[in-house]
């Protein structure tokens, strides 16, 4: 084929430009560490990356919800543990008042004072708030769960102000876990009400009414079982959330690994390709330098 | 019949004339060596008419003369060049535009609309657990504003891309009109020159360059006619006929004032290019960018419908009746925004599905679950749609780039073919120059010898 002078120059320029393009591409992969820098680099992978990013973000939303539920449930369980300790104190006082016929009324009054203290602390624990929301009020989180009716300086009745609403945390596409225990079923269940039993026991101790004290104690023990049961339930739900957090974390690491397969450049091969592109480019400019120096026949004629 | 004694001078004269023309042609070639549109020229030398017919001996030649100065050109390759320029112009414009488009729609870098929607979902998931927390409510409103803003922003970038493609098409059409005029004028000049027996080589180079420009601009197609003129047509409508050219008018599209419409000035019919930059720009404007804008509008309308649906059946913080302010206002990608009433008062957000239940986050959970559901307007999830669109625009951009590369290499091959016929080789010219120089020297000797002979003869006669 006949080669014109201009063609030599144009071909050399075109080859250098093609090599520059490869160098640019290699630089981009190395500097971003990603093989898909724009959708056309790998359209299918680009779509998968969007999907995976969304799944990862969704799972991190589930994780946030699980952590938040976890915090509420462990606070609930801890509050119920404290209530139990208090109720143990009240139980001991009631048993003391019941067992010893030798106790004087003044001793009984002192025991009644202990039980009244328990009542007040239990009420305050039942009204525990978390981030400004009442923990045991069902959906009525903006008001205290229980309100006390007082007469003569002491609590005579405790009323539940909440409802039986149970809020669930969505912690997986098909997994929702209850994160609150409505207070009526925990503190105010009929026949085993914490507050009612404490009031009965306190009143019986104050008046020395042994038969009322005895039935109050039975109620109190029943209330203690309810609280223990509620604490176990909170613990179990909390455990479910913690397990889910672990599941989500391992899911996320799997998704992150897939994402990396789609979008991350293989640095070893990217570096090799880059070196190759640089070599091609260097060869191209050397060739261009040689073309520029290529002697013409004119050099030998004059 | 005898030959004149001075006939030799006539031959020598022809020789010097011929060599002079050859030298001039070589000089012209050398000075145009770096111009790729220039075709190498060659002096076609033929024997001059014989001096006389001496019967029984035969003719004595009359030396040489230059018959014509020919342009070295392969007309078959020329036709291919015009066609390939049309394809290359179209795919280059498309590849460049689609690369910009995929830059705007880039969801695969972890940013983009899908990311803002993911954040919105997460904000709802956090709120669901503590629905009366004002900072979490504000977080939802912020995330929703960010998502709506991202959609507005992307839509306005797409509108700029559409405008850019529109301008590109208008410019291509304008340039096509003026180039067509130039071809018509060259047609006339070339035909006149040829009728006068001349070889209008440079004009023909110019016209070939113009025809390739028309290919690049609009995929125009040309035919050479017997009189040396070319006729050009674009997708069945004439553009250049002998010495006249047609033109395409540009006006605001009455159906869509954001873009231009193009019509043939002679019959008012719609102009549709057969390829070239105009075709690439129009495909980009009317299919790729318009499609992306339509997709974004569908997405925005679906978000408005889905989020407002849940907002209207849910209960605001502690509210006894459902509804209240909307979640999103607007109807499409350019107008979607968080309802100003909700933005001003995040407690209006309907996180509950029960009346008077500030601690109820079931509707917030339902909002968060929207991301997982196929939206009625889209037939798939929001991110599912975005991921499909990302793949599609990526595939289109990859294909257009691929086609551009292929056509670029066809063009390179044609350039090489053209160059092998028409390009100037300086070595070749230098060798020719030394050949001409030697012919000139030999001619000079010839004249010297003739002269001596004549001197001898004259001195014998005059004594």
Sign of CA dihedral B129, B130, B132, B138: negative
Q: Which residue has the tokens 């789609």?
A: A262
| Pair A51, B390: CB distance under 8 Å | no
Find all residues with CB under 8 Å of A80, minimum gap 6, and list them.
A186, A227, A230, A231, A234
Long-range pairs, B233-236, Cβ under 8 A, ≥24: B234/B176, B234/B271, B234/B273, B234/B274, B235/B272, B235/B273, B235/B274
**Token code pair at residue A216:** 């109050």
Shortest CA distance from A165: residue in chain B: B360
Nearest to A6 among B33, B103, B132 (CB): B33
Q: What is the pLDDT of residues B205-235, one digit of tens each?
A: 999 999 999 999 999 999 998 888 999 999 9
Find all residues with CB under 8 Å of A166, minimum gap 6, and list them.
A138, A178, A180, A181, A182
Phi, psi (deg, nearest 5) at residue A188: -135, 30
Residues A241 and A234: their CA atoms lie apart, in Å, by 11
DSSP structure string for B421-458:
HHS--HHHHHHHHHHHHHHHHHHHHHHHHHHHHHHHHH
Q: What is the pLDDT of residues A128-187, one digit of tens each?
A: 998 888 999 999 998 999 999 999 889 999 999 999 999 988 888 888 899 999 999 999
Q: What is the mean pLDDT of chain A?
A: 90
* A21 at B interface, C-beta within 8 A: no
CA atoms within 13 A on the CB side of B146: 18
C-alpha closest to that of B397 among A261, A36, A258, A29: A36
Binary contact (B426, A5; C-beta < 8 A): yes
CB burial readout B232-245, b (16+ within 10 A) else e: bbbeebebbbeeeb
Nearest to A44 among B35, B125, B391 (CB): B391
Q: Residue B71 CA to chain centroid, in angstroms?
A: 29
pLDDT range class, residue A11, cuts 50, 70, 90? confident
Residues A24 and A18: their CA atoms lie apart, in Å, by 10
pLDDT range class, residue A302, cuts 50, 70, 90? low
Angle at B431 between CA B429 and CA B432, to 5 degrees: 60
pLDDT score for B3? 66
| Pair B326, B308: CB distance under 8 Å | yes
List, in sequence order, the alpha helices (H) in B201-323. 201-218, 276-283, 290-313
CA dihedral A57, A58, A64, A67 (to 10 degrees): -120
Find all residues with CB under 8 Å of B139, minimum gap 6, and list them.
B123, B126, B127
Find all residues with CB under 8 Å of B146, minimum gap 6, and list them.
B116, B119, B120
Find all residues with CB under 8 Å of B291, minimum gap 6, and list them.
none
Domain definitions of chain B by residue range: 7-72+424-462, 80-412
Shortest CA distance from B365: residue in chain A: A170
| Pair A100, A90: CB distance under 8 Å | no
At B40 the three-state DSSP class reads coil
Shortest CA distance from B126: residue in chain A: A65
Binary contact (B106, A38; C-beta < 8 A): yes
| Pair A135, A230: CB distance under 8 Å | no
A residues 224-283 near B, CB within 8 Å?
A: 263
Q: Which residues of A touch B392 (CB under 8 A)?
A: 43
| Pair B257, B267: CB distance under 8 Å | no
Shortest CA distance from B136: residue in chain A: A131
Q: Write down the pTM of the prediction.
A: 0.84
- Which of the 8 DSSP states describes residue A228? H
Q: Tell me whether 0.85 is exceeded by the ipTM.
A: no
DSSP structure string for B80-109:
HHHHHHHHHHHHHHHHHHHHHHHHHT--TT
Binary contact (A133, B434; C-beta < 8 A): no
Residues B463 and B447: their CA atoms lie apart, in Å, by 24
pLDDT score for A101? 66
What number of C-beta contacts closer than 8 Å exist between A and B?
225
In terms of Cβ atoms closer than 10 Å to its own Cβ (0-12, 13-18, 19+), residue B340 is: exposed
**Token code pair at residue A156:** 């005579």
pLDDT(A1) > 60 = yes
Q: What is the pLDDT along chain B (463 residues), one digit of tens a residue?
A: 566 777 888 889 999 999 999 999 999 999 998 888 899 999 999 998 887 666 567 777 888 999 989 999 888 899 899 999 999 999 999 999 999 999 998 787 777 899 999 999 999 988 988 898 899 999 999 999 999 999 999 999 999 999 999 999 999 999 999 999 999 999 999 999 999 988 899 999 999 999 999 999 999 999 998 888 999 999 999 999 999 999 999 999 988 888 999 999 999 999 999 999 999 999 999 999 999 999 999 999 999 999 999 999 999 998 999 988 999 999 999 999 999 999 999 999 999 999 999 999 999 999 999 998 999 999 999 999 999 999 999 999 999 999 999 999 999 899 889 988 899 988 889 899 999 999 999 999 999 999 999 999 899 888 6
* A18 at B interface, C-beta within 8 A: no
Nearest to A72 among B40, B129, B420 (CB): B129
């Amino acid at each position: 084929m006949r080669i014109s002078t201009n063609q030599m120059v144009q071909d050399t320029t075109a080859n250098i430009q093609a090599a520059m393009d490869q160098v640019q591409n290699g630089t981009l992969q190395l500097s971003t560490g990603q093989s898909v820098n724009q959708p056309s680099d790998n359209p299918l992978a680009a779509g998968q990356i969007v999907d995976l990013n969304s799944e990862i973000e969704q799972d991190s939303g589930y994780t946030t919800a699980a952590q938040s539920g976890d915090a509420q449930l462990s606070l609930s369980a801890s509050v119920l543990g404290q209530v139990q300790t208090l109720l143990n104190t009240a139980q001991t006082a009631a048993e003391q008042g019941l067992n010893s016929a030798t106790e004087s009324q003044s001793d009984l009054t002192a025991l009644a004072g202990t039980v009244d203290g328990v009542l007040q602390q239990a009420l305050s624990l039942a009204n525990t708030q978390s981030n400004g929301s009442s923990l045991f009020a069902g959906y009525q989180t903006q008001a205290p769960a229980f309100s006390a009716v007082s007469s003569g300086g002491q609590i005579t009745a405790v009323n539940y102000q909440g409802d039986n609403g149970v809020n669930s945390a969505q912690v997986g596409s098909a997994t929702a876990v209850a994160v609150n225990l409505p207070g009526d079923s925990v503190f105010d269940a009929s026949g085993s009400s914490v507050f009612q039993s404490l009031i009965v026991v306190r009143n019986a101790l104050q008046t020395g009414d042994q038969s009322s004290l005895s039935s109050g104690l039975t109620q109190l023990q029943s209330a203690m079982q309810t609280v223990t049961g509620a604490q176990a339930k909170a613990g179990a739900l909390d455990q479910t959330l913690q397990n889910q957090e672990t599941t989500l974390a391992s899911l996320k690491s799997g998704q992150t690994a897939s994402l990396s397969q789609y979008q991350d450049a293989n640095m070893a091969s990217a570096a090799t390709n880059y070196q190759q592109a640089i070599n091609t480019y260097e060869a191209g400019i050397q060739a261009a330098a040689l073309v520029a120096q290529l002697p013409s026949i004119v050099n030998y004629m004059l | 019949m005898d030959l004149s004694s001075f006939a030799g001078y006539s031959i020598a004269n022809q020789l010097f004339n011929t060599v002079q023309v050859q030298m001039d042609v070589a000089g012209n070639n050398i000075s145009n060596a770096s111009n790729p549109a220039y075709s190498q020229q060659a002096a076609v030398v033929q024997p001059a008419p014989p001096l006389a017919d001496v019967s029984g001996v035969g003719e004595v030649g009359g030396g040489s003369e230059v018959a014509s100065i020919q342009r070295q050109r392969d007309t078959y390759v020329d036709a291919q060049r015009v066609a390939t320029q049309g394809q290359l112009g179209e795919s280059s414009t498309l590849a460049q535009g689609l690369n910009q488009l995929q830059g705007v729609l880039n969801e695969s870098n972890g940013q983009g609309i899908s990311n803002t929607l993911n954040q919105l979902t997460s904000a709802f998931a956090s709120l669901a657990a503590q629905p009366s927390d004002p900072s979490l409510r504000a977080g939802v409103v912020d995330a929703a504003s960010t998502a709506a803003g991202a959609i507005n922003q992307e839509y306005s970038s797409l509108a700029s891309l559409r405008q850019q493609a529109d301008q590109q098409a208008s410019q291509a059409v304008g340039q096509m009109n003026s180039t067509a005029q130039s071809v018509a004028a060259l047609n006339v000049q070339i035909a006149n020159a040829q009728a006068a027996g001349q070889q209008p080589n440079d004009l023909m180079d110019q016209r070939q360059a113009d025809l390739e420009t028309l290919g690049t601009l609009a995929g125009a197609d040309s035919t050479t006619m017997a009189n040396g003129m070319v006729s050009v047509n674009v997708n069945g409508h004439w553009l250049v006929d002998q010495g006249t050219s047609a033109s395409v008018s540009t006006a605001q599209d009455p159906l869509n004032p954001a873009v231009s419409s193009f019509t043939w000035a002679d019959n008012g019919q719609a102009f549709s290019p057969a390829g070239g930059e105009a075709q690439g720009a129009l495909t980009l404007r009317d299919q790729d960018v318009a499609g992306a804008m339509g997709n974004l509008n569908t997405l925005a309308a679906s978000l408005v419908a889905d989020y407002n649906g849940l907002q209207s059946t849910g209960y605001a913080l502690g509210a006894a009746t459902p509804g209240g302010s909307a979640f999103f206002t607007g109807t499409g990608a350019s107008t979607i925004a968080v309802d100003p009433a909700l933005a001003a008062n995040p407690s209006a957000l309907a996180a509950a599905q029960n009346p008077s239940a500030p601690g109820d986050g079931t509707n917030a959970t339902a909002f968060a679950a929207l991301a997982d559901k196929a939206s009625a307007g889209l037939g798939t999830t929001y991110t599912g749609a975005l991921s499909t669109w990302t793949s599609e625009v990526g595939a289109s951009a990859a294909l257009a780039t691929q086609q551009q590369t292929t056509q670029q290499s066809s063009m390179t091959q044609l350039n090489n073919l053209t160059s092998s016929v028409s390009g100037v080789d300086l070595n070749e010219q230098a060798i020719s120059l030394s050949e001409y120089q030697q012919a000139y020297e030999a001619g000079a000797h010839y004249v010297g010898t003739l002269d001596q002979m004549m001197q001898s003869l004259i001195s014998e006669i005059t004594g």
